Structure 1
Amino acid sequence: MSVELLERAEARRRAALVGLDVKEQAQRGQYFTPHLAAQIIAGLPRVVELESIRVLDPGAGSGILSAALVDRLRVERPGLPAHIVAVENDAVLHAALVETLGDLETIEGVTTELVDADFLAWALTTDQRFDLVIQNPPYAKLRTGSEPQNLLRGAKIIVPNIYAAFLDLGLRLLVDGGQQVAITPRSWMNGPYYSAFRRGFVGTAGIDAIHTFESRSKVFGDTGVLQESIVVSATRGRTPDKVVVHTSHDHNSTPSSRTVAYGNIVTPDFIHVPATESDAQAVAWMSTFARHTLADLGLTVSTGRVVDFRSREMLHHERIDGAVPMVNATHIRGGVTQHPVDAKKPEWFHAEPADAAKLLVPGGDYVLIKRFSAKEERRRVVSAVWRSEDEVAFDNKVNYIHQNGHGLESQVADGLAVFLNSTQLDSYFRVFSGHTQVNATDLRQMRFPSLDQLRQLAAVTSHDQLEIDAAVEAVLAPTEVKA
């Protein structure tokens, strides 16, 4: 019976995908949950202690999350009274959803209710409360001045994407001790755009369990979404001592599981996701031995000022009189900056004094970090030092570390590049950030060695990875400190 239940729900999901208008689906941010992923999501919340359960499925789609949850309940808690409230305002999906809810009502103890309403407006006015919210919220940016954004701002929900609004409202609709489990992009876990939301989330609910997927593209493979997805289960008004972290390659593979101290996952600034023991070690190592922000060191990181498509008339393939180097990511190679390299992109910049003053950086020593790593590169963070006596132009796909708009002390610059190119840093960054790119904001939040330690690291002139890692270990975590 249960296999048939989920198979039918999955068939309806696939049929619904075919029947949807692609543009409207994109506008709504609809990415329907495959049934194997639905089983993972439905498997995270606790159900053993409940005597009855009221469940909310916001943006229910074809109802597959509710089906997966009921499928679990009928095995683990047969006969448990369960009332499912499915909220869905896409009329195209109602036929499939009604059929799925009808299937669920054939299970002993299960009753259902379909609410045909926009979830945002409904959630802000309903007096219903729930023991469990299970959801795959829509993923779409909230346009400035749009009706949904104005509605949310009126409720003091300030978020850049609608999925975060769904999470916030889901928590609000829980009873004390109620649980929410959701699959979302990982982007809310760090960075400035979600900082207020993140603080509110972890202040309201404690994270109990996380499921991560090593593959970015396979979880929603038939829907076209390439976001790094993560499943988070949280309990309103409760903070656990430990978090259970499950990791699988995708929704088809068998996960590994581990238990991590809550403080090693949730911090005031961001949420780490140490999926493996090596991830946890990377977080612990960095938290112990690197204690300074760039601001603590009197340094700043900025994004290059030149946007190529806005500055075409200023960019040149050949050097002309008065031109300065135009440095982009292709010039950062093997731990050093090489210019020129006969690249396809323009390598020289020339502008009238007024424009140049806004876009150029004074001569000096700067640490450059690629914002986007190339596919063939194994590292997420790729860095090198740029040195010049004259002014230079940095492309906006490059971040640069400076001191009050000017160059760095030479040894500090060299030491920073060594640290940024270490395996210790790269391993930590992968846990710290769910992004494929390296944002200036991420670098501002991260921790670095002291200035004296950076000067010591400047003695490393080799670009061999083993030598870099050994030097970082020796300077930051000498034997006497570890003992």
Structure 2
Amino acid sequence: MATEVPAPTIGLVLRAESRRQESSAALNTSQRGKLGQFFTPAPAADFIASLAVLPQSGSIRILDPGAGTGSLTASLVARLIEERPDVKISVTACEVDPHLRTALQATLDDCVNTAANFGVHVQVHLVERDFIAWATRANDMPGQPPEPFDFVIMNPPYKKLAASSRERRSVAAVCTETTNLYSAFIALGVHLLSSRGQLLAITPRSFANGAYFRPFRKYFLERMHLDRVHLFEARNKVFADTGVLQENVIFAATRTNGVDRGPVVVSTSRSYSEEVRQRSVPYVEMVHPEDSEYFIHISADEEDTALTASHASLPCTLPDLGVQVSTGRVVDFRSREHLRPDDTPGAVPLIYPLHMGAGVIKWPVQGAKKNNAIMLNEQTEKLTFPSGHYVVVKRLSSKEEKRRVVAVVFDPGQIDRKRIGFENHVNVFHANGSGLQQEVAQGLCLWLNSTILDRFIRRFNGHTQVNATDLRNLRYPSVEQLTALGNSWQTTTWMTQEEIDELVQQIVR
């Protein structure tokens, strides 16, 4: 998969890889988790560097934020030495971890010395600081503000940012609100790019959709054009020697400030060494012009395109159906004093994911670690819903779970209470805060449990959460189709997956 580095400079890449392996082996698990560090293997670094569109002459400025041991820099410099020996190269590498700086400095010196052997000028600068503080000039940090860079090449750290964190506030003050270190690094990389400068990165795929990343996507897409997106079919191949399972994407994007909206090259492979399949996708297929959420639809192949077309052909949105979906209103740690482990006089059911069974709610669950009920009073009534038929969907699933979307129906005929509480780890489909028509609820539950819907979610959602925003942005069968589905479900027994899919195929065409 990776572009092969020619023989004269392959030693530079191999020596950087050796430093990466030694540093990765020495890094303890707690330190890796604290800093979100997953170092870039040489095959990935070579491939990312191969996506750079190199200038014919002049000078270029390269930024490697969170540089680790310098693998990405080494691969890009090696390519430049071979293909553009007349270009003057300036490299700025940032690294906050003092344990890595010796290895990083060795890689930077290696770049300078290797280039000099070929008559190529390389200048390097190691920033021994936190990249976000340096890039945003936070805390009155001394030094000149960064000049625009021609290339920003990165494997940023992966770690959630608390709303009150210094990093999150600093990035928001300079460019955009963001919720993860990796998206903060990308946003600042965009901020530091020159016009027509290129961003080259390997990151989690989760930024492509979901409510939390919406401000970041808006900021990114208004300034950048995606040139190339590469997906891996096997998650365990990307960072093979770290044991991490992550849905990663490699991408190249150019700073165009919204001018260029040309096609995007989308490619896939199982691992670094296996065959790459690629195709050109119209930009409007990847980023729908009317989508206020700025979702990025990465269609890996023709099957994905067919799924997209099938989804787009569905007749209705949730507003068309008169249906809304919300995250459960009860956040248990905020309502602890009102929660009860068992059914109690004055309490109403509180539904967690653990109460979700084969198409229905099973309540109460005796001996559960979570509570079964919430006391109904003036403080909690607004957190509950009136009795009725609701469709409940799990918000979280494991990466290896058979289904990404798991839906059930809350049936008031089986649990006869005047109000119900839904905990924050589930999403609830309702009609203006009340229950749905029974047949519509049953049909919606079957549709959400269909294989075609699950395949769509899995291919286009880069994370294991199914948030209310994700569900709002889907298209759905019509009320008539949902009613027909619902009438076909005898609620005394739950259908097999084959029966659900056959029914959906018959009714939803």
The TM-score normalised by the length of structure 1 is 0.87
Distance in 1, Cα, partners of 2:194 & 2:371: 60
Q: Which of 424, 437, 442 is equivalent to 2:452? A: 424
Distance in 2, Cα, partners of 1:313 & 1:168: 42
Is the alpha carbon distance of 1:142 and 1:461 closer, same or farther for their aligned partners in structure 2, counting shifts above 3 Å? closer
Is the alpha carbon distance of 1:80 and 1:266 closer, same or farther for their aligned partners in structure 2, counting shifts above 3 Å? farther
CA contact (8 A) 2:350 2:374 kept: no
- 2:381 alignment partner in structure 1: 357
Q: Which amino acid aligns with 1:171?
A: V
- 1:113 alignment partner in structure 2: 124
- Deviations 1:211-233 (Å, cap 9, x if unpaired)? 12233444234446544221121
CA contact (8 A) 1:323 1:348 kept: no
Distance in 1, Cα, partners of 2:399 & 2:94: 39
What runs of 5+ residues in structure 2 fail to find an aligned partner? 1-7, 137-143
Shift of 1:282: 1.1
Q: Which amino acid aligns with 1:265?
A: M
- 1:204 alignment partner in structure 2: 223
- 2:104 alignment partner in structure 1: 97
Moved more, 307-316 or 267-276: 307-316
- Deviations 1:326-367 (Å, cap 9, x if unpaired)? 433344334344445667456742525345524443211001
Distance in 1, Cα, partners of 2:316 & 2:376: 43
CA contact (8 A) 1:326 1:349 kept: yes
Q: Which of 463, 467, 470 is equivalent to 1:439? A: 467
- Deviations 1:233-258 (Å, cap 9, x if unpaired)? 11111535322222233445443323
SS in 2 for 1:241: coil
CA contact (8 A) 1:73 1:80 kept: no
Distance in 2, Cα, partners of 1:427 & 1:290: 19
Is the alpha carbon distance of 1:458 and 1:166 closer, same or farther for their aligned partners in structure 2, counting shifts above 3 Å? same
Residue 369 of structure 1 pairs with residue 375 of structure 2: no
Residue 83 of structure 1 pairs with residue 108 of structure 2: no
Distance in 2, Cα, partners of 1:261 & 1:428: 19
- 2:303 alignment partner in structure 1: 278
Is the alpha carbon distance of 1:320 and 1:127 closer, same or farther for their aligned partners in structure 2, counting shifts above 3 Å? closer
Distance in 1, Cα, partners of 2:399 & 2:71: 35
Residue 259 of structure 1 pairs with residue 246 of structure 2: no
Distance in 2, Cα, partners of 1:302 & 1:406: 12
SS in 2 for 1:428: helix
- Deviations 1:278-305 (Å, cap 9, x if unpaired)? 222111211222441x234332222334
SS in 2 for 1:33: coil
Q: Which amino acid aligns with 1:115?
A: L
SS in 2 for 1:289: coil
Shift of 1:381: 0.7
Distance in 1, Cα, partners of 2:279 & 2:387: 50
CA contact (8 A) 2:399 2:464 kept: no
Shift of 1:460: 3.1
Q: Which amino acid aligns with 2:99?
A: V
Distance in 1, Cα, partners of 2:213 & 2:380: 34
Cα RMSD of the aligned pairs, angstroms, is: 3.0
Is the alpha carbon distance of 1:312 and 1:230 closer, same or farther for their aligned partners in structure 2, counting shifts above 3 Å? farther
Distance in 2, Cα, partners of 1:322 & 1:130: 64
- Deviations 1:186-218 (Å, cap 9, x if unpaired)? 222112222122112111111011112233444
Q: How does 1:144-163 map to 2 (within 5 A)?
A: 144-163=163-182
SS in 2 for 1:163: helix
- 1:191 alignment partner in structure 2: 210
Number of residues of Structure 1 aligned to a counterpart in Structure 2? 474
Q: Which amino acid aligns with 1:282?
A: L
Shift of 1:382: 1.3
Distance in 2, Cα, partners of 1:157 & 1:324: 42
- 2:151 alignment partner in structure 1: 132
Percent identity for Structure 1 against Structure 2: 41
Q: Which amino acid aligns with 1:101?
A: L
Is the alpha carbon distance of 1:258 and 1:467 closer, same or farther for their aligned partners in structure 2, counting shifts above 3 Å? farther
- Deviations 1:434-471 (Å, cap 9, x if unpaired)? 11121122112222233333223323327243443344
- 1:70 alignment partner in structure 2: 77
Q: How does 1:389-428 map to 2 (within 5 A)?
A: 389-390=416-417, 391-428=419-456
Q: Which of 349, 356, 365 is equivalent to 1:332? A: 356
Shift of 1:11: 1.4
Distance in 1, Cα, partners of 2:37 & 2:49: 19
Residue 16 of structure 1 pairs with residue 23 of structure 2: yes
- 1:239 alignment partner in structure 2: 260
- 1:480 alignment partner in structure 2: none
- Deviations 1:37-62 (Å, cap 9, x if unpaired)? 21222222333866654322222221
- 1:481 alignment partner in structure 2: none
CA contact (8 A) 2:187 2:220 kept: yes
Moved more, 378-387 or 298-307: 298-307
- Deviations 1:310-336 (Å, cap 9, x if unpaired)? 64873335x555554443334433434
Moved more, 411-420 or 39-48: 39-48
Q: Which of 436, 440, 455 is equivalent to 2:483? A: 455
Distance in 1, Cα, partners of 2:361 & 2:158: 38
- 2:193 alignment partner in structure 1: 174
Residue 384 of structure 1 pairs with residue 408 of structure 2: yes
Shift of 1:263: 1.7
Is the alpha carbon distance of 1:468 and 1:119 closer, same or farther for their aligned partners in structure 2, counting shifts above 3 Å? same
SS in 2 for 1:282: helix
